[in-house]
Amino acid sequence: MITSIYVENLRGVKRCVVNNLTHVNIFIGRNGAGKSTLLEAIYMASAWARPLDIIKGVSKLLHVVTRRRGHVDARYGWEIYSKYKDMLWFNKYINEEIRIALNFGEKKMEFRLMYSQPQPPHAPPADGPALWLVVAQGSNVIYYQRPDSFWSPVTKSTPPLPFSELQKRVEDELRQELEFLEGVLLLDSRLTPRDLEQRIWPQLLDRRLDTLIVEMLREEYEVDVHDITYKPVGGEYVLALKLKNTTVEIDALGDGARAAVMYASPLALVKDTAVLMEDPEAHQHPAGLKAFMSFALKIAKRQNLQLFITTHSIELINIIKQLVRELDMGIHVYFMERGPDGVVDVRMLEEVDVDVLQKTALIPGLSARVSA
């Protein structure tokens, strides 16, 4: 489990520290406070352990750059990354390193991203993204990138070291943390039915986890759904719900039901890792939101998932608070506020603080609708 996060020089965040993380972590604050950037920092760090997104099949660092621009043709991905990568740097200060540090209890993993890629042997092309792990070596530090690239930030060159021994030490000492990072999921509004059809649902069907998604849909979204299947449409196969009187493509579902399937399907596959959810309340009726969060939290409990959730909804917070009590899970709510200098103040809210926020509407944009 990640117990704390440190982020520096990423997007609009000059510096941000979040401590005392637990099973379920909810981040609230005004637009531009740095909530999504915090999720992206964890997602970027996970790229060191597994460079490709398991849902989209593209580089995670490329996805971070392009996901706010909408669809990007994969054939031109690296050209887009090279063109727009400066937007990752705070105030476009590209001479500074982006720093991300994750604490896992007593162990720490610190990562660096440089605008200009060093060129030790076997490194990716200069315009390709490369996240480096900071490794202690005596009184100095060495940057290490899988599979076998090392770089000295002091000499600006490849250090004369027994690489195989250092590599083995790092991989052995951080084995559990690396396995945790390999499975990290980012769930946001950019997921598409095609992503699920190509990479997620074949695995769900092989393990018959599709029944979990059907049960969730029956609870609130489509009470007469019998099954989910692949249906031939226009020369390809798409996911569709088999209802009592017809079969409906996932694309044709209401926004709430479609979003629930998008988020729930990858969730059912992973375990012993972190899941990053961006604004899961979008397009959801309160009853549907409760059904989805009940599914998500039960999966998280059973499969040892740590959840990081951004939201503008007090309603969502109340739903999660109720459910985690029933499941005996830890929950922390953090209020984020970014100053003019880019430094983010993060305050962990006590129970009474959340109640005060709801009553006074202290945070503009938070929903205070009555739960259904």
CATH number for the domain harbouring residue 368:
3.40.50.300
- Name the packing angle between helices 210-220 and 255-267 (round to 10°): 150
Exposed, middle or buried: residue 231 (CB in 10 Å: 0-12, 13-18, 19+)? middle
End-to-end Cα spacing for the chain? 34
The residue out of 269, 284, 301 marking a domain boundary is: 269
Instruction: Specify whether 170 is located in the same domain as 291.
Output: yes
pLDDT by residue for the chain (372 residues), tens only, comes to 999 999 999 999 999 999 999 999 999 998 899 999 999 999 999 999 999 999 988 889 888 988 877 665 656 667 777 788 899 999 999 999 999 999 999 999 999 999 887 765 544 444 456 789 999 877 788 898 887 788 888 887 887 767 788 888 888 999 999 999 999 999 998 898 999 999 999 999 999 999 999 999 998 898 899 999 999 998 899 999 999 999 999 999 988 999 999 999 999 999 999 999 999 998 888 899 999 999 999 999 999 999 999 998 888 999 999 999 999 999 999 999 999 999 999 999 886 566 656 654 444 444 444 333
Helix (H, G, I), strand (E, B) or coil at 308: strand
| Count of domains forming the chain | 2
The residue out of 237, 269, 301 marking a domain boundary is: 269
The rounded distance, in Å, linking the Cα atoms of 129 and 150 is 15
Q: Is the pTM of this model over 0.85?
A: yes
Residue 128 is classified by DSSP as S
Half-sphere exposure (Cβ direction) of 46: Cα atoms closer than 13 Å: 26
Residue with the two structure tokens 């309340």:
281
Return contacts of 224-229, CB within 8 angstroms, 24+ apart: 228/201
DSSP 8-34: EEETTEEEEEE-S--SEEEEE-STTSS
Contact indicator for 240, 228 with CB cutoff of 8 Å:
yes
Instruction: Specify whether 262 is located in the same domain as 277.
Output: no
Instruction: Specify whether 293 is located in the same domain as 218.
Output: no
Instruction: Specify whether 139 is located in the same domain as 99.
Output: yes
Instruction: Specify whether 233 is located in the same domain as 301.
Output: no
Instruction: Specify whether 136 is located in the same domain as 284.
Output: yes
The residue out of 211, 234, 269 marking a domain boundary is: 269
The rounded distance, in Å, linking the Cα atoms of 70 and 349 is 34
Instruction: Specify whether 321 is located in the same domain as 353.
Output: yes
The boundaries of the domain holding residue 256 are 191-269
Phi and psi dihedrals of 88, rounded to 5? -75, -20
Instruction: Specify whether 222 is located in the same domain as 93.
Output: no
Instruction: Specify whether 56 is located in the same domain as 93.
Output: yes
Instruction: Specify whether 36 is located in the same domain as 142.
Output: yes
Contact indicator for 184, 274 with CB cutoff of 8 Å:
yes
- Name the packing angle between helices 35-49 and 175-182 (round to 10°): 120
Instruction: Specify whether 265 is located in the same domain as 279.
Output: no
Residue 30 is which amino acid? R
Instruction: Specify whether 205 is located in the same domain as 261.
Output: yes
The rounded distance, in Å, linking the Cα atoms of 142 and 161 is 10
**Beta strand pairing call for 185-187 and 227-233:** unpaired
The rounded distance, in Å, linking the Cα atoms of 333 and 320 is 11
Helix (H, G, I), strand (E, B) or coil at 81: helix
